[in-house]
Amino acid sequence: MLSRVADSIYWLNRYIERAENVARFVEVNLNLLMDNPVGVTQQWEPLIAVTGDRALFQERYGQTTSTNVLNFLTFDIHSPNSIISCVRSARENARSVRETISSEMWEQINTFYLMVEDAAKNKPEDIREIYAFYAEVKLASHRFVGVMNATSSWNESWHFGRLGRLLERADKTSRILDVKYFLLLPSVKAVGSPLDNLQWISLLKSASAYEMYRKVEQELTPANVARFLIFNLQFPRSIKFCLRHAERSLESIIGPSSDISFSSQRELGKLRAEIEYVTFEEIFSHGLHEFLDGLQLRLNQVGDRVHEDFIAIPPSVQSSSITDAFNTSEQSQSLGQMSQTSSQGGQTASQTAGQTASQTASQLTANAVE
């Protein structure tokens, strides 16, 4: 029971966060197309690169047109990272732990699900309807997080949810930064041009970071943007912020007095420490793309370790502090008895159907902090 609940809440939050990020990427790209000078080629390929599903897109659609990309990322049920697939998977995970989450969370997920399903049946065609849909997806995700924070006990269950959400967010921030740096500009000559500035503004907006960036940086430069999205400790979508708070949630799950050694804690701790102490100059000397690519592999490894530590283990080795939070079996009591017996589930953990399989990330050959 523990493993099933932990797994479902972890992935419920990852899928909600993923749907929000896809909506943000598409919405900002639509805005960018409006601002681009006449004659500039529409940039839809980077959106496919962000999801990592380029091979699947080529197999299903072939041509990278606006219609194909929007449908693939939004309403294609065969695309595991489309908005509709993410929301369906989130709802299925929520349904499987209906007895654990609050009724307000369940209602918000259902409202989100019904909104997306209705849009899939009556696909918006007018540009205002398209904008309104993606804006509503973002708001639905924000509402879910707000409802979860306001109606859930901040126990191990809540921390599993936040852990999943922050790992997903760190991954997407690194991907959008990596894609912009290597795919958006038509040539090196465009660096520093008005088109380049528009695209960096677009990147900041895709992370809801433009206004916050302007509060701390006066000049819009690639180095400043990358530094802000990687290192800023006050901005909740920066990589450093996500890793620091994800580590805190993992520590809360494990508990301060646990004698068990968890590989996920070691992996996330090492990654957070590297981000904590590496300098921006070291990253650029090593290569920003190499750094971000390595970061994504390490985040995949953290996800794999979380699965191994908390999902794929037998109940007999689970820590007592976590078991207390998720064990739903009731104690049977008899008047006059000197002892109590508690029922305990004997199920072995299995990962919820429809979730993505754990990726086996190749070990980095060069450390980003060299």
One domain for residues 166 and 129: no
One domain for residues 127 and 160: no
Cα–Cα distances (Å) from 203 to 28, 206, 208, 227, 343, in that order, read 8, 5, 9, 13, 52
Q: Which of 315, 330, 346 is the last residue of a domain?
A: 315
One domain for residues 105 and 250: no
One domain for residues 227 and 254: yes
CA torsion, points 11, 15, 16, 21, in degrees to nearest 10?
A: 140
Does residue 35 sit within a domain? yes
Give the confidence band of 182 by pLDDT, cuts at 50, 70, 90.
low
342: pLDDT strictly greater than 60: no
Pairwise CA distance, residues 229 & 283, whole Å: 13
114 SS3 class: helix
Q: What is the pLDDT of residue 194?
A: 66
Mean pLDDT of 82-110: 97
Does residue 347 sit within a domain? no
Strand pairing partners for 331?
342
Pairwise CA distance, residues 344 & 179, whole Å: 48
One domain for residues 43 and 163: no
Cα–Cα distances (Å) from 208 to 25, 76, 143, 306, in that order, read 10, 25, 16, 28
The pTM is what? 0.81
Give the confidence band of 61 by pLDDT, cuts at 50, 70, 90.
very high
One domain for residues 104 and 173: no
Token pair of 163 as six digits: 């852990």
124, 133 contact by CB (below 8 A): yes
Number of domains in the chain: 2
Does residue 16 sit within a domain? yes
CB atoms within 10 A of CB 340: 9
List the single range of 89-98, 143-152, 193-202, 290-299 with lowest mean pLDDT. 193-202
362 SS3 class: coil
In sequence order, the 6+-apart residues with CB closer than 8 A to the CB of 166 are 242, 243, 245, 246, 249
One domain for residues 221 and 126: no
One domain for residues 241 and 206: yes
In sequence order, the 6+-apart residues with CB closer than 8 A to the CB of 285 are none
One domain for residues 107 and 174: no
Domain that holds residue 236: 154-183+202-315
One domain for residues 10 and 40: yes
Residue 292 identity (one-letter amino acid): L
Q: Which of 299, 315, 331 is the last residue of a domain?
A: 315
206: pLDDT strictly greater than 50: yes
Conformation bin of residue 307: beta by default, left when phi > 0, alpha when psi is -120 to 50: alpha
More confident: 43 or 81: 81
Mean pLDDT of the chain: 82
Q: What is the pLDDT of residue 193?
A: 61
Cα–Cα distances (Å) from 318 to 123, 259, 301, 304, 355, in that order, read 46, 11, 21, 17, 22
Pairwise CA distance, residues 242 & 286, whole Å: 23
- Read off the pLDDT of residues 240-278 as tens digits, 9 standing for 90 and up: 999 999 999 999 999 887 777 799 999 999 999 999 999
One domain for residues 130 and 243: no
One domain for residues 160 and 103: no
